[in-house]
């Protein structure tokens, strides 16, 4: 059996394949398209966010039976094409939860205390201490959109800062939470009330461009928005325009509609904006966790036909 690995994973994960006698096809530095020379040989395929498996590639993968996403987001896999082809798609929904939640808090703190701007000012030889007056998180309203595992971890950390938590999730009932910890709101009400908004929802046809110019305009002028979920949920051109016009206080993005971020992106000219290159799950602990989890899952499926964290049910 052969497994293509086209994005970097930890050695701990690769050892699992070797231990089970599965041949590893290293494609980390290869061009991945339907003409990739190993596409028809593979029984399994491991990816992270750097590889896109579209219908053309999947249709050429005649021996493929499982795709494993080392991470949560699966918008870079054509699920419908995989399902039609009889290919199981798996992910690892728990392994990078803590890392993503901690990075969210890092961005919230950086925005509230002007960390990146203070640093850059010092590098430029200035001492603009009074120019970068920040604000405390205590008693500020944090709106969390999406109350899955990562959203709930963010909530627990924000409670430690004595923030007031507002939540929105159409699939969550209020009795699932303590009333002294969080209050559930409608989406537009949450947007209008929050001092900070953090997004923790998947990218889909319903959530793409959810935060367009109109929705961003509903935020308070002193509010800030953070996205460590998926690129495309916030319309990047509209966000840049909103920031340039000074209609909100700031934003922080870790994910983008096109990655790597284009040098022509309007975000690069927007003020009061912190950008990081998809670091939400980029910790040693998370990389090891998603790698070992997905390699175990794929090995168990190829050898024993055991399903774990499957996101589709092939015909």
Active-site residues, by number, are: 230, 259, 278
* DSSP assignments along the chain, one per residue: -EEEE-S---HHHHHHHHHTTPEEEE-TTS--STT-TTTTT-SEEEE-SS--B-HHHHHH-TT--EEEESSS--TTB-HHHHHHHT-EEEE-SSTTHHHHHHHHHHHHHHHHHTHHHHHHHHHTT---GGGG-----TT-EEEEE--SHHHHHHHHHHHTTTPEEEEE-TT--GGGS-TTT-EE--HHHHHHH-SEEEE-----TTTTT-B-HHHHTTS-TT-EEEE-S-TTSB-HHHHHHHHHTTSSSEEEES--SSSSPPTT-GGGG-SSEEE-SS-TT-SHHHHHHHHHHHHHHHHHHHHH----SB-----
């Amino acid at each position: 059996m052969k497994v293509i690995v086209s994005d970097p994973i930890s050695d701990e994960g690769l050892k699992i394949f070797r231990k089970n006698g599965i041949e590893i096809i290293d494609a980390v530095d290869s061009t991945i398209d339907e003409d990739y020379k190993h596409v028809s040989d593979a029984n399994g395929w491991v990816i992270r966010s750097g590889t896109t498996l579209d219908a053309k590639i999947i249709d050429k993968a005649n021996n493929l039976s499982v795709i494993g996403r080392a991470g949560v987001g699966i918008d870079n896999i054509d699920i419908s094409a995989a399902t039609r082809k009889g290919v199981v798609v798996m992910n690892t929904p728990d392994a990078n939860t803590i890392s993503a939640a901690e990075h969210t808090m890092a961005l919230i703190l950086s925005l509230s205390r002007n960390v990146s701007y203070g640093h850059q000012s010092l590098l430029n030889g200035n001492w603009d201490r009074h120019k970068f007056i920040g604000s405390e998180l205590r008693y500020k309203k944090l709106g969390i959109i999406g109350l899955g595992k990562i959203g709930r971890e963010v909530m627990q950390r924000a409670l430690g800062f004595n923030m007031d938590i507002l939540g929105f999730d159409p699939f969550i009932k209020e009795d699932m939470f303590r009333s002294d910890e969080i209050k559930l709101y409608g989406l537009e009400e949450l947007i209008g009330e929050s001092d900070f908004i953090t997004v923790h929802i998947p990218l889909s046809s319903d959530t793409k461009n959810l935060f367009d110019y109109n929705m961003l305009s509903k935020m308070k002028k002193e509010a800030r928005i953070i996205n460590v979920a998926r690129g495309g949920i916030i319309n990047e051109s509209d966000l840049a325009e909103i920031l340039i016009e000074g209609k909100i206080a700031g934003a922080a993005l870790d994910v983008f509609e096109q990655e790597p971020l284009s040098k022509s992106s309007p975000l690069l000219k927007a003020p009061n904006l912190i950008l990081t290159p998809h670091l939400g799950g980029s910790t040693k602990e998370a990389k090891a966790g998603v790698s070992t989890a997905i390699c175990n899952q794929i090995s168990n499926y190829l050898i024993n036909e055991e399903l774990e964290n499957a996101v589709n049910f092939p015909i």
